A and B are shown apart, each in its own frame.
Chain A
Amino acid sequence: MRLKLLIATAAAAAVMGTAPAFADLVFPSLSYRTGPYGPNGIPFADGYADYFTLINERDGGIEGQKIKLIECETGYNTEKGVECYESTKGEGALLYQPLSTGITYQLIPKATADGIPVHSMGYGRTSAANGKVFPWVFNYPGTYWDAASIIVKHALDEEGGDLSGKKIALVYHNSAYGKEPIRTLEELAKKHGFELSLYPVDHPGQEQKATWLQIRRDRPDYVTMWGWGVMNQVAIQEAANIRYPMDHFIGVWWSASENDVLPAGDGADGYKAVAFHGVGSDFPLFDEIQKHVIDAGKAAGDGSHLGEVLYNRGVYAALLAVEAARTAMKLHDTTDLTPAMMRDGMEALVLDNARMEELGVPDFGPEINVTCANHGGPGLGAISQWDASSKSWSLITDFVGADREVVDPLIMEDSAAYAAEAGIEPVACGS
């Protein structure tokens, strides 16, 4: 009996602990292919994995150094995310892409203490753009506050440069993520003289009748949305039902996947969203992925998501990671990277149009130039629009900048508050 127990305990202990093995360049992928947000997690995880596979298969790795991708399922759950982080960091992880607001907030202090960079691309804590306070956290090429400002800018353009007296409504997921743009929008409302009204929707957001009845009554000139998961589909469906003009309904980039608009059918035609990377599969890179990865049977998923918005985002994230790794290799003159070198590479990342052309993604995203003080990148975004008849997104504007006058002071203020609370001494930049 005791022996059995002992064996069982030993076996359990063996199963619980994971053996660390150092090899190659390790990029963990904290994916969420299951759970309520699984439909959004699958294309991203596929894109992220497929690009790394492409680099391995076609180029033999980054500068000859193979990439090892470790996928760990978080189910968008914070505790599981922490478990994933702890179990993968021992393998020499170079970079974390936490993929959920909750996990990002968890990892910001932890990864900083452990010295591993975090890239929360277009999500997470906006004020992490201040590299002086958050030396290990990056959120280029854009943040939520940039997105809010770009949306307002688009509205300004549509209205001929004057928003005074107009009404803009924000429909948001009632959580940390959804509340992000409120401060920025309030500042912008003061500056441009529009009236901001807020409509929170509680998780999960399957029932939004009350929200849309109010919108129908108040008839705001523009509706913006910070939604996630089932809330997106229901909101777009309800907006179509009340016949809200869809081209005045602008979502953030997380409310803008095929998943969100397809269930609403033709009603979603004309829906807009802000985007920080290109849409569709009309880039040379995607032919390469199709040839070397999907047709070769090495795709992470079933290959059916190629060209979807979130798949592209995964590819983009992996592309930025690989470019940062290349930069780091040049900087430190070695192919054997450590997380600290990776961080330096990210901080020195320069991605211009010529380089994007070389990589087979011409004009896929804005030009990026990360600096020590600015981890938020250029803060550019374009407006994309959904065409229900061809079932495709298209960018209808160029990449435009956010209102830095409004966004930057907010970033400074919030990061300073965080630094004070957590007792962080900002690092000096520009030496």
Chain B
Amino acid sequence: MSPAFLYFIETVLNGLMAGVMYSLVALGFALIFKASGIFNFAQGVMALFAALTLVGLQTGQVPFAHLINALFGTSIHHFGWELPAIVAIIGTLVVMVAFAYLFEGLVLKHLVNQEPIILFMATIGLAYFLEGFGDLMWGADIKAMDVGIPSGGSFWWEDVTREWAAEGSDYFGMYIDKLDVVAAIVAAFLVTGLVAFSQYTKYGRALRAVADDHQAALSVGISLRLIWVVVWSIAGFVALVAGIMWGAKSGVQFSLSLIALKALPVLILGGFTSIPGAIVGGLIIGVGEKLAEIYIGPFVGGAIENWFAYVVALVFLLFRPQGLFGERIIERV
């Protein structure tokens, strides 16, 4: 095979991998939208908050250290312990469940039956709050995320693909990031787990019932509030996974909350309500934007992938206004 063709395959492959990373973020959105019709603007900030908490717990940071020091004139920063990654992850999950419980009790409970845009606005308030809270709690510096995920280019894959090139060409193998492979495996498990959860468990069935019709679900004795806590907890878990993966790429810092923007075209393409849609949408967007950036970009000056993702999504929408896997919009007068 010619190097140019191999390079094309490499681009597609890396696009798929980037797409998986987008899907990880988009999954959280889709979950909450499906179960409660809320477009959760705070999903990105939740990922940041989860990642901050994870690193904070792991490295034994004192929460609110800055505030405490400013108030009492002390100088404390660390507890002086290092937790194993798995303990820190479990600790973070507890925090995210507590967060879901609080948010339901303090906010969502009071906003039952409001219009979607009002609920959307409430999540914006949440995003603001969590952004300030996270910074206050864990500080604004960049933290390295180290939970033992391998990263860096894979040598094995480079060697394998070098064989494929035609004799005599100076092809140097395909690049694939080990971190991305891990992310893809994690995403596969996550989606399988989520689908199994919603198909085969009691709560999963209740969740689907709520998604179908709030009132009908209530009338057969499903606790709406419990379901919401469950959904937000799961979204918190997905946010943690996204936070870990993206945090490993760039360090845990404020900009992590901006990954939500990468998930938006994925969502519209896949449909807001569909979990498989989030994955398929992510893959299409990932491949589309990488191909565009590399093969069209140089002719128009580059950096087109950001808006191109939206254009790809827009084109799909013109044919299917509810996204690829979204529920059909049925309108009656």
Interface status of A33 (Cβ within 8 A of chain B): yes
Please indicate the chain B residues that have their CB under 8 angstroms from the CB of A213 in the complex.
10-11, 14, 175, 290, 294
Q: Can you show 13 pairs from A to B with CB atoms below 8 A apart? A: A35-B254, A38-B141, A39-B141, A42-B140, A199-B302, A200-B302, A202-B306, A206-B250, A207-B18, A207-B262, A213-B175, A237-B249, A263-B144
Interface status of A259 (Cβ within 8 A of chain B): yes
- What is the bound-complex CA distance between A200 and B263, given in angstroms? 21
Please indicate the chain A residues that have their CB under 8 angstroms from the CB of B142 in the complex.
39, 233, 259, 262-263
Residues 299 to 317 of chain A near chain B (Cβ within 8 Å): 302, 304
B307, closest chain A residue (CB): A202
Q: Which A residues have a C-beta under 8 Å from some C-beta of B?
A: 33-36, 38-39, 42, 174, 198-202, 204, 206-207, 209-211, 213-214, 216-217, 229-230, 233-234, 237, 240-243, 259, 262-263, 265, 267, 297, 302, 304
Please indicate the chain A residues that have their CB under 8 angstroms from the CB of B297 in the complex.
210
Q: Is the CB of B66 within 8 A of A229?
A: no
Q: Is the CB of A206 within 8 A of B251?
A: no
Interface status of B104 (Cβ within 8 A of chain A): no
- What is the bound-complex CA distance between A164 and B246, given in angstroms? 40
Which of A230, A241, A304 is B177 in contact with, Cβ under 8 Å? A241
Tell me what chain B mostly uses at the interface: helix, strand, loop, or mixed: helix
- What is the bound-complex CA distance between A140 and B154, given in angstroms? 45
Please indicate the chain B residues that have their CB under 8 angstroms from the CB of A259 in the complex.
141-142, 251
State the Cβ distance, A307 to closest chain B Cβ, in Å: 15
Residue-wise, chain B 132-166 has the 8 Å CB interface mask toward A (1 for contact) of 00010000111011000001110000000000000
Which of A200, A204, A267 is B255 in contact with, Cβ under 8 Å? A204
State the Cβ distance, A173 to closest chain B Cβ, in Å: 10
Q: Is the CB of A242 within 8 A of B141?
A: no
Q: Is the CB of B253 within 8 A of A230?
A: yes
Please indicate the chain B residues that have their CB under 8 angstroms from the CB of A33 in the complex.
140
Please indicate the chain A residues that have their CB under 8 angstroms from the CB of B140 in the complex.
33-34, 38-39, 42
Most buried by A among B77, B135, B142: B142
Q: Is the CB of B293 within 8 A of A234?
A: no
Q: Is the CB of B303 within 8 A of A202?
A: yes
Residues 289 to 333 of chain B near chain A (Cβ within 8 Å): 289-290, 293-294, 297, 301-303, 305-306
- What is the bound-complex CA distance between A230 and B255, given in angstroms? 7
Q: Is the CB of B249 within 8 A of A210?
A: no
Please indicate the chain A residues that have their CB under 8 angstroms from the CB of B293 in the complex.
210-211
Q: Is the CB of A39 within 8 A of B294?
A: no
A197, closest chain B residue (CB): B298
Which of A234, A241, A304 is B250 in contact with, Cβ under 8 Å? A234
B10, closest chain A residue (CB): A213
- What is the bound-complex CA distance between A259 and B251, given in angstroms? 9
Q: Is the CB of B144 within 8 A of A265?
A: yes
Interface status of B67 (Cβ within 8 A of chain A): no
Most buried by B among A174, A198, A204: A204
- What is the bound-complex CA distance between A233 and B293, given in angstroms? 21
* Given A200-B301, A206-B246, 4 other A-B residues pairs in contact with their CB atoms under 8 A: A33-B140, A210-B305, A233-B250, A240-B152
State the Cβ distance, A106 to closest chain B Cβ, in Å: 23
B141, closest chain A residue (CB): A39
Please indicate the chain B residues that have their CB under 8 angstroms from the CB of A297 in the complex.
73
Which of B18, B251, B289, B294 is A214 in contact with, Cβ under 8 Å? B294
Q: Is the CB of A302 within 8 A of B249?
A: no
Please indicate the chain B residues that have their CB under 8 angstroms from the CB of A42 in the complex.
140-141
- What is the bound-complex CA distance between A259 and B141, given in angstroms? 8
Most buried by B among A199, A200, A206: A206
Please indicate the chain B residues that have their CB under 8 angstroms from the CB of A241 in the complex.
151-153, 175, 177
Please indicate the chain B residues that have their CB under 8 angstroms from the CB of A243 in the complex.
153
- What is the bound-complex CA distance between A240 and B306, given in angstroms? 24
State the Cβ distance, A46 to closest chain B Cβ, in Å: 11
Known: A242-B153, A259-B142. A206 touches B303 (CB 8 A): no
State the Cβ distance, B214 to closest chain A Cβ, in Å: 36
- What is the bound-complex CA distance between A213 and B13, given in angstroms? 11
Known: A33-B140, A213-B294, A302-B77. A229 touches B255 (CB 8 A): yes
